[in-house]
Amino acid sequence: MKVNYDDIHQSLILKSSKFKELKNQIFMNGVIRIPKPKIDFFAFMVKTIICQQISDKAANSIWKKFCKYYDKNTPKFKNIKNICSLELQLKNIGISNRKIEYVLTLYQTLLSKSLDSNLLKNQSENEIKKKLTKLKGIGLWTCDMILIFFLIRPNILPESDLIIKKVKKKICCIENKEINFNKIFSPNLSILSLHMWKMSKRIL
């Protein structure tokens, strides 16, 4: 089903009408869309693992190094020769041994078909989180990134994300009141999350 991002934007503006600064920030951001993923599930997971607990600049640099090993700079699960070649690539791009272990575990899980990414599309958010958090190195933050940016789920507010936490606190401070973001802005919390990340560059 096609998502009408213009309607969602107008809904967020309307729902934020009681919060002057929040409404102003959403208005300044303009219409925000969730881009469709251009990489497969494995590559998306690897990119998300790389991003864990490091700056965007560092993460992008490491991700580009990983992409160089693949045709058209597009990593694909089916193009990985074997786990040894994958491990060598990971060691050469400068990520921690812990993250290397996470990626290799993910690779083995997908290879053995213990996890089928196609089945995730039809599962509930709780089912997806329960399944993915069984994997080493996959926590709630990573699950939320997958839900928003890979599965395009519309109603996700990553409570464990540091920037989201800071923005929520800052907005409540500016408005001088507690705001129940989940209640007020459901079922469009994913778009609200993108607004918070974007406005963080101005208000934090």
Residue 108 has pLDDT above 80, yes or no: yes
CATH of domain 41-149: 1.10.340.30
Which pLDDT tens digit goes with each residue over 127-144?
Answer: 999 999 999 999 999 999
Res 180: pLDDT: 98
Q: For the whole model, what pTM was predicted? A: 0.94
Query: What's the mean pLDDT in 11-21?
Result: 98
Contact 138/160 with Cβ under 8 angstroms?
no
Which pLDDT tens digit goes with each residue over 168-181?
Answer: 999 999 999 999 99
Which pLDDT tens digit goes with each residue over 152-170?
Answer: 999 999 999 999 999 999 9
